Structure 1
Amino acid sequence: MSTPVLPLLGRGLAAGGAAGLAAGLFSLLLAEPLMDRAIRLEEARSHEHADAGAAAVQHHEELFTRSTQHFGLVVTSVVFGLALGVLFAIAYALVHRRDPDVSPWPRALLFSGAAFLAISLLPALRYPANPPGVGDSSTVSDRQGLWLAAVVIGVLGMFLVWQVYVRLADRSVPVRQVAAAVTGVAVLAVLFALPGNPDEVPVAATLLWDFRVLSIASHAVLWAVFGVVFGALGLRAFSRAAAPAGAVPVS
């Protein structure tokens, strides 16, 4: 059963907004306290090496209070979720058009899990998140480029793994699984061939570990909520569309 694109976009926006809000609140309640600690540590280091440039940076940071930044975090998460919802809906429509008989619930969960691996987990394995204030401002563009390259490799890698699994449909299940696993290992090898983080991370090991765990956990919340909401909305639409066909006519 085919599905029009506009309803899929609506489902994507609804799921993306809910997922972004959930991830933003998660980060606000759990990750932000760690970020505040990291900022205080960075300010302490700045005071130890105070100069005119550091004073200018400190003055600039005072333009936005932490409360404003906390609110901006939630808003940014919702906007990010909405954007992901549109992209997710388009990708889902392309796959759904090829095989429209699959139930939307397992497909949405599978898609969300694959997106989490490709966009969040794989890049984070190579370039784990760092607290704010960590890193030289002169290397920002380099770090952003490396992160983008990791995301591209993750997305293309997941697509390649899926293609290998699909194209070996006539083979036994163990053969397909082994081939997909070998492809996944090759993707990891390419990912870790990228250059390392160019900056040191002068943060306490415990604080850094907690921040990175909560960072990837917020991504997991984002994609879990997205998959559940998108799948539930799709299942409801699927049931409504199938109900008239299965209804017993009243004589």
Structure 2
Amino acid sequence: MVRTLVVRGLLLGLLAGLIAGGFAFAVGEPQVDAAIALEEAAAPAPAAADGHGHSHGAEAEVGRPVQKAGLFLATGLYGLAVGGVFALVFAGLRGRVEPRSDGCLALAAAGTAFVAVILVPFLKYPANPPAVGDPATINSRTALYVVMVLVGLAAVAIAVATARHVHAGAWPRWVAVAAAFLVPVVAAWLLLPTVDEVPDGFPATLLWEFRLASLGTQFVFWTVFGALFGWACDRAARSAAAPMSAAAPS
């Protein structure tokens, strides 16, 4: 069963990744092109070529057409990796947490993963287009982002544990779950340093259009993947139940 779930997760993750790549290509790439144009306009003139026609100080770069094609490769591989991990986590949660329906559990797990792994870090450290961010701080910024991902996952784990141990009624239970999730997240937002490396004069509209496109790409991926995975699980459950119903005595 676990092997079937993993294969299902890999295939549907790949499909969802390609669909998300299409969204990123249509919505996000125009902002990337605009940001690159601003970066090139602000860059110093390239070094003069020597007598043999060779320029100095400029390294060969991957062209934009290749980068755009690589976008689908990147989102496809991302979908494969996420789909496999999600399937393993789903197998561990199945039958142990609510909801009991495979389809509803898949949607709930995908939504929770989006909030914990994508939304929580995004609200503190949103994505930036080219020309935004100091290359010298990329390691520290990456570490801070990973910390926020871990905080989001820890907050979800605390919220789930709270939901399983609080039995004081529906509303008190949900209030306790929300508080258990928000306390570590808000504490991390307040305690971790703020990163603001947007250069002066960078268009605010372009910045937020890029950030929303980045968040939208992840939202499309997790929505499509959760819906497809849940549908496939429910379909498999119905197919498995059909022979048993047919064999039951009338």
Q: TM-score scaled by structure 2? A: 0.90
Number of equivalent positions? 241
- Spell out, residue by residue over 1:68-110, the C-alpha distance to the aligned partner (whole angstroms, 9 max, x if none): 0001111000001100011101111111153699221100100
Question: Within 5 A, what are the aligned runs for 1:86-235?
Answer: 86-98=84-96, 102-168=100-166, 170-192=167-189, 193-197=191-195, 199-202=197-200, 203-235=202-234
1:130–1:211 contact (8 Å) kept in structure 2: yes
Q: What is the CA distance between 1:167 and its match in structure 2?
A: 1.6
Q: Given the alignment of the two structures, is residue 41 of structure 1 paired with residue 38 of structure 2, yes or no?
A: yes
Q: CA separation in 1, counterparts of 2:146 and 2:247?
A: 54
For residue 90 of structure 1, what is the amino acid of its counterpart? L
Q: What is the CA distance between 1:160 and its match in structure 2?
A: 1.2
Q: CA separation in 2, counterparts of 1:191 and 1:132?
A: 27
Q: CA separation in 2, counterparts of 1:157 and 1:37?
A: 37
For residue 238 of structure 1, what is the amino acid of its counterpart? A
Deviates more, 1:119-128 or 1:238-247: 238-247
Q: TM-score scaled by structure 1? A: 0.89
1:161–1:184 contact (8 Å) kept in structure 2: yes
Q: What is the CA distance between 1:232 and its match in structure 2?
A: 1.0
Deviates more, 1:34-43 or 1:155-164: 155-164
Q: Of 70, 73, 96, which residue of structure 1 is paired with 2:71? A: 73
Q: CA separation in 1, counterparts of 2:131 and 2:81?
A: 27
1:143–1:198 contact (8 Å) kept in structure 2: no
- Spell out, residue by residue over 1:143-170, the C-alpha distance to the aligned partner (whole angstroms, 9 max, x if none): 11011111111111112112111221x2
For residue 18 of structure 1, what is the amino acid of its counterpart? L
1:28 is aligned to 25
Q: Secondary structure at the match of 1:47?
A: coil
Query: Structure 1: 5+ residue runs without aligned partners?
Result: none
Q: What is the CA distance between 1:199 and its match in structure 2?
A: 2.6
Closer, same or farther: CA 100–150 of 1 in aligned 2, 3 Å: closer
Closer, same or farther: CA 197–64 of 1 in aligned 2, 3 Å: same
Identity rate, percent: 36
1:240 is aligned to 239
Q: Secondary structure at the match of 1:133?
A: coil
Q: CA separation in 1, counterparts of 2:145 and 2:199?
A: 16
1:130–1:201 contact (8 Å) kept in structure 2: no
1:23–1:221 contact (8 Å) kept in structure 2: yes
1:118–1:155 contact (8 Å) kept in structure 2: yes
